[in-house]
Amino acid sequence: MLLAFVSISAATMAQDEAVPTEKYSVSTNSFWSNWFLQTNVTYSAFYDGTGNLFANPFYKFPLGTGVNDNKHNVQTGLGFSVALGKWFTPGIGLRTKGNFLWLGKAFNGDVDKYLTVNEHVLFNLSNMLCGYNEKRVWNFIPYIGAGFARNFDAKANTMDYSAGILNTFRLGKVVSLNLELGYNSYGSEWSGNGGVSPKHRLNQFDVELGLTWNLGKGTWEKTPDVEAIKALSQGQVDALNAQLSDAQSENARLKDLLAQQQKQVAQNTIAPVSTVTKYVAAPVSVFFNLGKDKIASQKDLQNVAALAEVAKENGAKLKVTGYADSKTGSAEYNQELSQKRAEAVADILADEYGVSRDNIEVVAAGGVDTLTPISYNRRAVVELVNKK
């Protein structure tokens, strides 16, 4: 119930948030996404607080027995566990876990049966430190938690605190192999006798092996580079403003030319008319995500296609200039990246839009900071080269 309540609250507050990672951002999924079920077989070593915490659980006694000799106060046994959980981000999750244990020959010679129910906070350090990767084979997941424990034979209850490391090994899209190392600390009242000092807590170490089953959607969706989207929008506005400015300049030129012709007509001194070919078109920007030479949005290519048609119809040349932002990466890296970005756009002009390679000039400008914000500089610019 606690897990479900927290899940609903967190999903409601974080529904539209993006979780930054080193590789890319991911969108927070819906409440019904990223749930998982775990089933494990458990081997436990249970230490009386008055004994040696570091005693070997395999020393002089087989599985399912206990020894009470002041040096080896250990009880061992098998059990199983079931857990239901949910990941709220690729790095943070919650699970509710129940452990059912049958430990043979307790310290007083009895066979004990135990149940613990814990709430755990999970930290997937593999995703948090290395970036989310849905195909990662090994995930390293420490956890901490607390809960309730029941000793059925002694009819005793206590609070317990737990911590451990969950390792998952991807077997497929739906299922992973678990190897878990856990620790539980119980109050002295759990033993069922009042003679143990409260300072002597009871300790349990577990090794668990089992499977994790993803319920429903178990992956996270990519989100595009937000700054690249802003750059795309601003680039389109800049292109429209540039086209308007060019059109106004051309309009003013034509008005001036018309005025001169009218004056020449009036003076009967009209000179022979000559035709000058000039192409007026605003440069087109194509944007890229950080460190990438793959075009961020295919919508950028709509204007590139139009510019390619103008170039082919008039036998004009195109110039493609690649840029990188100077705030990230070395100068050598940015020079190479800007070259790759320019080549990527040139390849599309030649392969998809039919512009002759002889009519495409490729320039690598390297890392620059001429535009603000800095992400606007992650681009390639296509422009017409006018005939002289």
The model's pLDDT over 345-365, given as tens digits with 9 standing for 90+, comes to 999 999 999 999 999 999 999
Give the model's pLDDT for residue 96. Answer: 97
Distance CA 168, CA 221 (A): 21
Give the model's pLDDT for residue 359. Answer: 92
What share of the chain in percent tops pLDDT 70? 69
Tokens in use for 326? 């100077």
Mean pLDDT value across residues 34-52: 82
Pair 279, 310: CB distance under 8 Å = yes
Tell me the residue type at 95: R
Distance CA 338, CA 356 (A): 22
What share of the chain in percent tops pLDDT 90? 39
By mean pLDDT, which of 3-12, 68-77, 190-199, 227-236 is the weakest?
A: 3-12
Q: What's the mean per-residue pLDDT of the chain?
A: 78
Mean pLDDT value across residues 291-300: 85
Mean pLDDT value across residues 207-233: 76
Give the model's pLDDT for residue 235. Answer: 58
Helix 331-351 / helix 300-314 crossing angle, nearest 10 deg: 60
Residue 94 has pLDDT above 50, yes or no: yes
What region, left, alpha or beta, does residue 231 occupy, with left being phi > 0 and alpha being psi -120 to 50 degrees? alpha
Distance CA 340, CA 362 (A): 10
pTM assigned to the model: 0.53
Q: Would you place residue 17 in the very low, low, confident or very high pLDDT band (cuts 50, 70, 90)? A: very low
Distance from the Cα of residue 225 to its chain's centroid:
12
Residue 344 has pLDDT above 90, yes or no: yes
Distance CA 149, CA 155 (A): 11
Residue 222 has pLDDT above 80, yes or no: no
Query: What are 241-273's pLDDT values in tens digits?
Result: 666 666 677 677 777 777 777 777 677 655 555
Residue 200 has pLDDT above 90, yes or no: no
Distance CA 193, CA 146 (A): 23
Give the model's pLDDT for residue 247. Answer: 65
Residue 194 has pLDDT above 50, yes or no: no
Query: What are 84-93's pLDDT values in tens digits?
Result: 999 999 999 9
By mean pLDDT, which of 43-47, 143-147, 196-200 is the weakest?
A: 196-200
Identify which of 123, 15, 37 has the alpha carbon closest to the alpha carbon of residue 85: 37
Residue 107 has pLDDT above 50, yes or no: no
Q: How many CB atoms lie within 10 A of CB 159?
A: 13
Give the model's pLDDT for residue 12. Answer: 40
Identify which of 250, 257, 252 has the alpha carbon closest to the alpha carbon of residue 271: 257
Distance CA 379, CA 366 (A): 11
Distance CA 150, CA 43 (A): 18
